[in-house]
Amino acid sequence: MLLFIPADDRDEWVKIGGILKDEFGDDGWTIWDEWSQTGRNYNARDARAVWKSLGNNDTRAKIGTLIHVAKRYGWGRASAPPIAPPKPRPAPAPEPVNRSTQAYAGELWLAGCWDDDAVGRHPYARKKGIEWAAGAKRGIASGKLIGRNADCVIVPVRERALGQIQAVQCINTEGDKQTFGPIKGGCLVLGNTLDKKIPWYVAEGWASAVSVVFHHHRGNAVCAVAFGKHNLDATAQILAEVFEPEEIVVLREAD
């Protein structure tokens, strides 16, 4: 339902946050934050601050209002959200000498498709048992490791977990990975980061993190994607400094 509603109007964005918090408490945070990330001006720190400022019953809008808004944007009149899966199209060329990989990462992220079904139907996601977007997008990318015009899952790397996107990792249909932009100082966090007492983990890759949070713990956990074993400890340090959970477990995969 939420995918039918643009997350760009701030008043509507806050109202929907209030509805979800009123209905689900802090369990609604993950739903609202993932939808918020579809907005053009998404800012992770702002989203957390707004959510914390929302008190239960501080809005007269209820779940019926959310349904009404969704219907206004077409929900109920179509079988799928109006966000189409990516179609083959000319891809941005591999980064030229005069353009940084970080700039290319930004272009890839903006051009990607956030639809749960589109990401879930990507061959790599299906192989890993991932049926929804899980913080990622799907799009076309080109690079030496992934090939030209490759159909990829595009996973964002956020500055100190909450900041702007500083890089993306592109995973093609064969599972080959290529990162554009700097990984150092960044990660991706999945799960309800408002709960400090649930299990918190750090995993090397996106698929592992999704499996930990949503398959093993049924959503009742948090896991950060470190984007490689060399970044595991640094990512754990970021979690400790930014979120201050009670305990962080680093998941080290056998070589």
Tell me whether residue 141 is in a domain. yes
Q: Are residues 111 and 168 in the same domain?
A: yes
Residues 6+ apart with CB under 8 A from 54: 14, 17, 18, 21
Q: Are 23 and 38 in the same domain?
A: yes
Model pLDDT, residue 60: 56
Residue 86 lies in a domain: no
What pLDDT is attached to residue 76? 66
**Structurally, how many domains does the chain consist of?**
3
Confidence at residue 139, expressed as pLDDT on a 0 to 100 scale = 94
Q: Indicate if 208 and 245 belong to the same structural domain.
A: yes
Residues 109 and 178 in one domain: yes
Same domain, 177 and 193: no
HEC readout, the chain: CHHHCCCCCHHHHHHHHHHHHHHHHHHHHHHHHHHHCCCCCCCHHHHHHHHHHCCCCCCCCCHHHHHHHHHHCCCCCCCCCCCCCCCCCCCCCCCCCCCCHHHHHHHHHHHCECCHHHHHCCHHHHHCCCCCCCCCEEEEEEECCCEEEEEEEEEEEEECCCCCEEEEEEECCCCCEEEECCCCCEEEEEECCCCCCCCEEEECCHHHHHHHHHHHCCCCCEEEECCCHHHHHHHHHHHHHHCCCCCEEECCCCC
Q: Mean pLDDT in each 10-residue stretch from start to end of the chain (255 residues)? A: 81 88 82 81 84 68 76 65 46 51 89 88 95 92 93 94 90 97 94 91 96 87 95 97 95 81
Same domain, 119 and 149: yes
State residue 96's pLDDT score.
Answer: 39
Single out the residue in 159, 182, 205 at which a domain terminates.
182
Residues 163 and 106 in one domain: yes
Interval 117-172: pLDDT, tens: 899 999 999 999 999 899 999 999 999 999 999 999 999 999 988 888 899 999 99
Q: Are both 111 and 141 inside the same structural domain?
A: yes
Q: Which residue range(s) make up the domain with 18? A: 2-72
Q: Are residues 146 and 105 in the same domain?
A: yes
Residue-level pLDDT at 7? 85
- Judge whether 246 lies within some domain: yes
**Of 163, 182, 201, which marks where a domain is finished?**
182
Q: Is residue 56 part of a domain?
A: yes
| Shared domain check, 165 and 119 | yes
Give residue 236's pLDDT.
97
What local confidence, expressed as pLDDT, does residue 88 receive? 43
- Which pLDDT value is given to residue 84? 44
In a domain, residue 212? The reply is: yes
Q: Are residues 115 and 178 in the same domain?
A: yes
Residues 177 and 109 in one domain: yes
